[in-house]
Amino acid sequence: MRDILNELRSSFDFIVVDSPPIIAVSDAAVLSAICDGVVLVFNGERTTTQSARRAMERLDKIGARILGVILNGIDIRDPEYMDYRSYYPSYSAAGDDSDSDFERA
């Protein structure tokens, strides 16, 4: 895999590698060690705080560079996420029946 990534780096500016969950199997940890960075994806309804922390700790132990986190699987209209509406004013202004790009993302 390291050789494949090195060859691809000579032709592409960005290479995205999708891996299985870091907690479930060791493949993600091995891949993260040879990639330039990691973007974690957490499901807001299913990922527990404990498993998110374990994922971060596992990546930290192997020295993976964490570039960021994507939080998906949430409904920003839910009252629990009221504070987040200030970050997405165009979404909350669009109303419940809007078919905006943000809703489809």
pLDDT tens by residue, 61-98: 999 999 999 988 887 777 776 666 666 555 544 455 44
On whether the CB atoms of residues 76 and 91 are closer than 8 A, the answer is yes
Proportion of the chain above pLDDT 70, given as a percent: 76
Tell whether domain 2-95 is in CATH 3.40.50.300.
yes
Q: Where are the domains of the chain?
A: 2-95
84 or 30: which carries more pLDDT confidence?
A: 30
pTM above 0.75, yes or no: no
CA distance 19 to 29: 9
Q: What angle do CA 45, 47, 21 make, to 5 degrees?
A: 130
